[in-house]
Structure formats: structure tokens, C-alpha cells
Structure 1
Amino acid sequence: MCAALLRDRLQWFWPDLRQQRVLGIGYTQPYLGAWRGRGALCVSAVLGRHGSALMTLQQEGGRLPPEERTCLVDAQHLPFGDEAFDRILLVHALQDEEQAVTLLRAAGRVLRDDGRMVLIVPNWFGGRLRQRGTPFAQETAFTRGSLRRVLAHAMLHVERRDEALFLPAGQGCTSLQRGQASDIAGKVLSPGLGSLRLVEVVKDVYSARPLPVAERKVWFSKMMVPVQDA
């Protein structure tokens, strides 16, 4: 039910992706259904730490859709060409700030210059606590400042933000209608306190900073006078 609520929010970000290529990084099988079967080519890149979950999913009766294109990847080396995808979704993918920057830079390489990327991460303000019993409880939680810092290092820029699942998973995910109603009420009564952050980002073409040409000098270097035969 939580996955269904998130698919609803993802369709709000990207309602029509016909004839476009979508890459899911991390563990995105439950969420790519927002566009699967609607004219989009969906590819799921499962990170190594989720490989056992993928094998379990295949062994439990083959619940993986037959049209699903899935591969096991390394966070530092995505096996795709440059600018191969129009949209990228990251769920259960970010461990810490250093790993997040590495993965986001690799994702930016395979994203088109005019493409867009959505990240779903737990909120630092009780996000993991309210998502107890779901995979998000083991994810790294980000504040708005820490996420902004990670995106800046990865040369990405925030376009839109959203939040979801204001109630604990045991209460807010009992039905789709209850979850949608609680999310609407939460955005009105307590904005910024959703347990999950959804952030849409694009490439920041102005983020490149030139290296200094001249070596920096110590502030007291002008006071130093060379002495002959010293």
C-alpha cells in the first residue's frame, strides 16, 4: 500500500512518459509500475546490496513482471552509455553522503542533458521511525541541508519537491484513500514533516568551478624580503 501511494505521487511528477526510457536505481521494482505498460521503456538497476532481495523475489513464484528489464550493478560503474535515459528514479539507493555523491554523479552521466531525476529518501525528522516495518527504516535519513549539499557536490539542481506518508506506515498505509487523505491533511497542517521526501532534480550546467591558475600565496608573503646568501 505504501508503494501504491508513492506510485501515485510519482505519476504526479511524470504523468506521461510514452516513448521515453526510465531507469530505476536501487530497488525500484514496486515503483516502476507507475509507468510500466504505458509506453515507457523501464529498466531496473539493482544495487549489489539488494541482490539477495531480487533473488528471493524471483524464487517466490516469479512475481517479477515478464517485461521487467533488470540487472545487478555497481554504484560506481553503471553499465549504460552516456545520456542513455530520459528519466531516472532512485529508491533505496543512498547510504551516506559520500556514497550518494558517487552514485548521483554516475546517474548524471547516463541521464540526458534535458532529463530529470527523482530521489525518494526518508526525512530526518522521524522518517525512519514512522516507516518502521518498511525498507525505509534502514535507509539513511537526510535533512534538507544535507540533501542540498549532496546534490551540489553531484552537480545537480532541485526543480520540485514533494513529501508523502505523514502517518506511521501501520496507520497511513491501511488503504489508498486513507493514505491520500492523510497526505493532503499533512501538507496543510504540518508541511515539511512528511516521513519521505521526493525531490526532482536536473543537471546544473553552472555548477562547474574552474581551478585557480595561480598558486595561492600566504597572507604574510608580501612582508618577507629575500636576503642574499641567507
Structure 2
Amino acid sequence: MTTNADINDLIAFYASPLGQAAARAVSLALTPVWRHIPDERLVGLGYAVPYIDRFASDAERALAFMPAAQGAQNWPPFAASRTVLVGSEDLPLGDSSVDRILMVHSLEFAESPELMMAEAWRVLAPGGRIVILVPHRRGVWARFEHTPWGSGRPWSRGQLTRLLRDAMFTPSSWSEALLFPPFRKRPLLGLSAPLERLGRDFWPVFAGVVIIEATKQLYRGLPVASTARERRRAIKPVLVPAGAGAGARTCRSDGL
């Protein structure tokens, strides 16, 4: 079993100079894999707040799902909260109800990555996409515990590909980030941007973070859920199922 990150540690890291430099580098690496989905419903799973802000403005709706074991931060800070405490293997959403999931500081802490991916497949609409950020097994950042990327289970490209294919996802694009060392001293952080650019050309295999986008395959046999689990879902607010990027949408009267 892998212990979840603590919300206070995550907030403190991203408020630090190193955290801000890391967020800039990861956001730049996310841009080329972030394909446009018209009127999408976006869910950030784990601790996606530093990145979801960059992409939520184009979404029809965006929600921040944070694991109960991690704790939660209110988001967005100056509007009605769209943060929800969840169990990562039992999301409070209907089948095929969201268009994209951004998974950050999540998969590396999963007790069962297979169950987490199966639940992500369930809630994604046909043709929906998942974008996953995980610490890279070969990266320097996975060896330092003063960053969130140094906690949990690191992944290789091959491991991620097998996990996604087993869960009926088709990997479509890759990216890397955090090619500069996790400097603690502010003067050295001034080198982060040029080192990030150089690293893409000369040492991408040692990136601190692997980013992958995958598309939900349409055909899959779903296991029969227990009666108790179905009863729990029946009383939860859900989004109405729809295809990825569907135009006109409506919510149930008790929906989010």
C-alpha cells in the first residue's frame, strides 16, 4: 500500500520557488498533448490545481477531485468551490459522463492502479481522453523526497503503456518535463528554464515526469458491481452521460 501525499505538503511545495519553476515546466510540457475538446467536461484527479487552472477556461465545466486520504484545497479560490473529496476507485460520477481526466499526484499513490484506471475508463465518455502525469523511474526527481515527485511509485513508459492497454486505453502522445535538477537554492533555480530546454534535446531519458495522453477504447465488458456499491452510486450526484465534446448538455436536477 502506498501512502497518499498530504495536502499541506503539496500546497507548500507549489508555493515555493522550486514548486513554481516545476509548475511552469510541467505546464509547458502539457500544452502539446492537450488536444482541444469542444464544450468538454474536465476532471482533475489527485492534486491537479496547479495545472487545471491553465486549461479549465476552455472547458464547459471543470471539477477538482481530491482523494480523501490526501485532503482537499478549495478551488477555484475566489468562486463557488468545485473541489470534491473522493475515493479514487469509486468516483461520484455516472458512466460516460466526462470528456477528459487530468491525473496528477494520483496514480503513483494508488493502492490498485488497475482499479483506478478501470474507474477512469467507466466515467470517461466514448472517445474521451485521459492525461496522466507520473514521476519517471529513471528521473532525478524520483530520488529526492523534498518534492512530491519523490514520493509514491515511479513509472517507466513501458509500465504505463501496459497499464493503459490492459485498461482498454490507447496511448496517443507522450511528453516529458522536469529536466532540470530539483534545486533548493534560489540562485540555481535561475538555470531551470535553460536546462529544461537543453534537457529536451540531450537527456530526455532522465526527465523527472512522464506525461501521457490516452483515448478510451469503446468496447469493454464491465464487471457486475455489488448491490451495495450500486446503491451508493444511486444517491450520488452525477453528470448526464454524453459523448466526448457533445454540444448541448443538461444536468439532472440533482446533478453537480
Q: 1:165, 1:172 within 8 Å by CA — same for their partners in 2? A: no
Equivalent pairs counted in the alignment come to: 201
Contact 1:152 1:207 in 2 (8 A): no
Quote how far apart the aligned CAs of 1:145 are. Answer: 2.1
Give the alignment's Cα RMSD to 1 decimal: 2.9
Structure 1 residue 174, shift from structure 2 partner: 7.2
Q: Give the Cα separation in 2 of the matches to 1:63 and 1:207.
A: 35
CA contact (8 A) 1:123 1:143 kept: yes
Aligned match of 1:157: 170
Partners in 1 of 2:23 and 2:49 — Cα distance?
A: 10
| Compared CA separation, residues 25 and 96, structure 1 to 2 (3 A) | closer
Q: 1:92 to 1:173 in 2, by over 3 A?
A: farther
- Is 1:33 matched up with 2:53? yes
149-158 vs 92-101, greater mean Cα deviation:
92-101
Q: Offset of 1:25 from its aligned partner?
A: 0.7
Question: Following superposition, which runs of at least 4 residues in structure 1 exceed 6 angstroms of deviation?
Answer: 171-177
1:99 to 2:119 alignment? no
Residue 102 of structure 2: aligned partner: 89
Q: Tell me which residue corresponds to 2:23.
A: 3
Structure 2 counterpart of 1:72, one-letter code: L
Q: 1:40 to 1:125 in 2, by over 3 A?
A: same
Alpha-carbon distance in structure 2 between the residues aligned to 1:141 and 1:70: 26
Confirm whether residue 72 of structure 1 aligns to residue 85 of structure 2. yes
**Percent identical:** 28
TM superposition score normalised by structure 2: 0.68
Going from structure 1 to structure 2, the CA distance change for 1:15 and 1:35 (only over 3 Å counts) comes to same
Cα separation, 2, equivalents of 1:191 and 1:128: 13
Report what 2:246 is aligned to: none
SS at structure 2 position matched to 1:7: helix
Mapping 1:195-214, distance limit 5 Å: 195-205=208-218
1:45 is the counterpart of 2:58: no
User: CA contact under 8 A between 2:170 and 2:216: conserved in structure 1?
Assistant: yes
Map of 1:140 onto structure 2:
153
Q: CA deviation at 1:32?
A: 0.5
* CA apart distance, 1:139: 2.5
Q: Distance in 1 between matches of 2:189 and 2:131?
A: 22
The answer to whether the 8 A contact 1:8-1:34 is kept is no
CA contact (8 A) 1:131 1:195 kept: no
Alpha-carbon shift at residue 90 of structure 1 (Å): 0.3
Structure 2 unaligned segments of length 5 or more: list them: 1-19, 222-256
Aligned to 1:14: 34
Decide whether aligned partners of structure 1 residues 174 and 85 sit closer, same or farther in structure 2, where only a CA change above 3 A counts: farther
| Counterpart secondary structure, 1:23 | strand
Q: 1:17 to 1:33 in 2, by over 3 A?
A: farther
Could you tell me how far apart the structure 1 residues matched to 2:184 and 2:35 are?
A: 28
Q: TM-score under structure 1 normalisation?
A: 0.75
Give the number of the structure with larger relative contact order, counting CA–CA contacts within 8 Å between residues 6 or more apart. Answer: 2
Q: Distance in 2 between matches of 1:172 and 1:71?
A: 35
The structure with the largest alpha-carbon Rg is: 1
Distance 2:61 2:106 in 1: 21
Q: What SS does the corresponding residue of 1:199 show, helix, strand or coil? A: strand
- Asked whether the equivalents of residues 135 and 153 of structure 2 are also in contact (C-alpha less than 8 Å), the reply is yes
Q: In the aligned structure 2, how far is the partner of 1:173 from the partner of 1:111?
A: 41
